[in-house]
Amino acid sequence: MGIVDEVREKFSELFGSDGDIRTYFAPGRVNLIGEHTDYNGGHVFPCALSMGNYAAARKRDDDKVRWFNMTYPDNGVVETSIRDLKPNDNGIWYDYQLGVIWALEEKGYRLPSGYDMVMKADLPAGSGLSASASIEELCAVICRDLFGLDITMVDCALFGQYSENKYNGMNCGIMDQFASAMGKKDHAVFLDTATLEYDYVPLNLKNEKIVIVNSCVKHSLAGSAYNDRRRDCEEALKEIQAVKDVKTLGDLNEEEFEEVKGAISDPVRVRRAHHAVYENQRTIKAVDALKNGDMEAFGKLMKESHISLRDDYEVSCKELDILAEEAWKTEGCIGSRMTGGGFGGCTVSIVKEEALDSFKKTISENYRARSGKTCEIYIADAADGAGRIG
């Protein structure tokens, strides 16, 4: 039985099988390059995954929501009114959905009623693959479809980001929600986060695969060092703006940054801004390399990205460094880096198809030997974005 059948069966068991029951899917995402650039006015290059969150849902006649998550069955059925929502930073799965309903109402889209919903994930939580954004976009498309809201999928992404910022207390950028909402099968999304202009770039990987390795170290970002990094960049930008007319760190290229970095008074903020500027330029170069079929250049930029995230932005961890280091020296690996917010989670690697088996074996064994932990390995497929599937 597939996940869609499982959620429909559980829905009928909990809430009955009558009425208009609809099914939905919202993917997680992996970011190939362009980390911590999305709230700095830079570019990102993610793709939606074939892993994510599935749901069955049906409208109610009152203002209640009743939700059950098969991934966390011990939570039981969560029931609340959609008219009495207050922001919090609990970080519980249903808070990310309640936050979207809150955001919709804040933006003028008052839901006429609540709904019943059962959901299940095949995306590991806390892995840096945007489980929270997947949950947000799942809620957004359910509300959009069930209640006929006149909103676009870009709106769904923006409402998801707004809810995570304002309801959940996590000052994330737009990348995760945008990738989940706007993904396209066999493509990555080259997004300018300053303008929301985007381009679908075919993943012309003729003899290569995208491999995600989960360190199985869960990250917790809300109320953490993630928000500190954002503040560092905002303060660095203000210092730069005193000497140069720029709106974001993403407006600067490498040469321009070197000319003005002396305006930043704190060495830590210099490193943070250095990463934001150089990572943005790496992302632009990496997309050009992919379009030109230069996978060697793409892989080199991935490695430089990880080193910058480790040293300048300081969002890696021992386990992610081990995975990246082992990948760099494994035959058939073109490039590897941590992906996501950091402090745990996953690496993403480009691996030649003929080397997949040896890559998985080598990484698993060496990671266990060096960290004492067991990793999980997935072959990633770029998928379509969130929407109704039945």
**Res 189 pLDDT > 50:** yes
Report, as residue numbers or ranges, the catalytic residues: 176
Would 3-202+384-388 and 208-380 be classified into the same CATH topology?
Answer: no
Contacts for 160 with CB less than 8 Å, ≥ 6 apart: 100, 103, 133, 136, 137, 140, 177, 180, 181
Please name which of 5, 377, 31 lies closest in space to residue 212, comparing C-alpha atoms: 377
* Nearest-angstrom CA–CA distance, 233 and 250: 11
Q: Is 148 left (phi over 0), alpha (psi -120 to 50) or beta?
A: left
pTM of the model: 0.94
> For the purposes of burial, counting CB atoms within 10 Å of the CB of 105, is it exposed (0-12), middle (13-18) or buried (19 or more)?
middle
**Res 221 pLDDT > 80:** no
* Nearest-angstrom CA–CA distance, 215 and 36: 20
Q: What residues are paired with 69 via a beta bridge?
A: 119
For 91-101, how does the pLDDT look when each residue is reduced to its tens digit (9 = 90+)? Answer: 899 999 999 99
For 289-338, how does the pLDDT look when each residue is reduced to its tens digit (9 = 90+)? Answer: 999 999 999 999 999 999 999 999 999 999 999 999 999 999 999 999 99
Question: How do beta strands 115-121 and 64-69 pair?
Answer: parallel
Three-state secondary structure call for residue 65 = strand
For 94-143, how does the pLDDT look when each residue is reduced to its tens digit (9 = 90+)? Answer: 999 999 999 999 999 999 999 999 999 998 877 889 999 999 999 999 99
CATH of domain 3-202+384-388: 3.30.230.10
What are the sequence ranges of the domains in the chain? Answer: 3-202+384-388, 208-380
Tell me the CATH class for 208-380. Answer: alpha beta
